[in-house]
């Protein structure tokens, strides 16, 4: 397992849900790789094209964590990608952190079977995609073992800080939160 964290962008991703964890984790000194599904330039849900570090299909090692931003049709595109499923399952099986926000927990992790017998959250109404064994929570950020889920754009900073706390420790995440003047 590498020390890298891979943030995966699929066409139609929610920009704030991608940029916030990239920014927070890089502030924390984490080696973040931005990977595009099938491309290195990916357009977000609001028409802005982002340049990725690599195509997802070129990732050869198992990262320490994978982060899936939500948005539509971004979450649907993530869920349709065999490469996203393969890497997510590798990370999960290796004990790494799997993090998803907005519609992505329902349209990827639930679809891949990762949320079975877990507690999770997602953007309102998408919980209907959860397996019956998944306990839906309306908390803004939910951690169940090595799986982090969150609700949507307004929870992006909390989601990112929780991910940072799990990767580099709560004290470092608290320091970043203070430097950002964030109240979460």
Predicted confidence at residue 184, as pLDDT, reads: 79
Question: In sequence order, which ranges of the chain are alpha helices (DSSP H)?
Answer: 15-27, 74-80, 82-93, 104, 156-168, 170-179
- 83 CA to centre of own chain: 15
Average pLDDT, integer, range 117-143: 98
Q: What is the pTM of this model?
A: 0.97
Q: Is CATH 3.40.50.880 what the domain over 5-170 is classified as, yes or no?
A: yes
Query: What are the boundaries of each domain within the chain?
Result: 5-170
- pLDDT band, residue 183 (cuts 50/70/90): confident
pLDDT at 47 over 90: yes
Q: Which of 52, 98, 102, 118 is catalytic?
A: 102
How many CB atoms sit inside 10 A of residue 146's CB?
A: 16
The yes-or-no answer on residue 52 being catalytic is no
Of all residues in the chain, the percent with pLDDT exceeding 70 is 100
- DSSP bridge partners of 144: 147
**pLDDT tens digit string along 13-26?**
999 999 999 999 99
Map residue 143 onto helix, strand or coil. Answer: strand
- 144 CA to centre of own chain: 14
């Amino acid at each position: 397992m590498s020390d890298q964290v891979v943030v995966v962008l699929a066409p139609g991703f929610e920009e704030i849900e991608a940029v916030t964890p990239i920014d927070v984790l890089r502030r924390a000194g984490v080696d973040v790789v931005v990977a595009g599904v099938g491309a290195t330039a990916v357009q977000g849900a609001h028409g802005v094209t982002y340049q990725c570090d690599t195509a997802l299909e070129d990732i050869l090692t198992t990262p320490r964590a994978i982060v899936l931003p939500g948005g539509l049709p971004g979450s649907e595109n993530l869920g349709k990608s065999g490469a996203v499923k393969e890497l997510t399952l590798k990370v999960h099986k290796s004990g790494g952190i799997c993090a998803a926000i907005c519609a992505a927990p329902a349209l990827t992790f639930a679809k891949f079977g990762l949320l079975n017998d877990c507690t999770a959250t997602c953007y309102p109404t998408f919980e209907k995609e959860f397996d019956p064994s998944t306990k839906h929570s309306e908390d803004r950020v939910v951690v169940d073992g090595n799986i982090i889920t969150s609700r949507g754009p307004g929870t992006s900073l909390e989601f990112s800080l929780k991910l940072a706390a799990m990767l580099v420790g709560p004290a470092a995440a608290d320091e970043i939160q203070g430097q950002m003047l964030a109240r979460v």
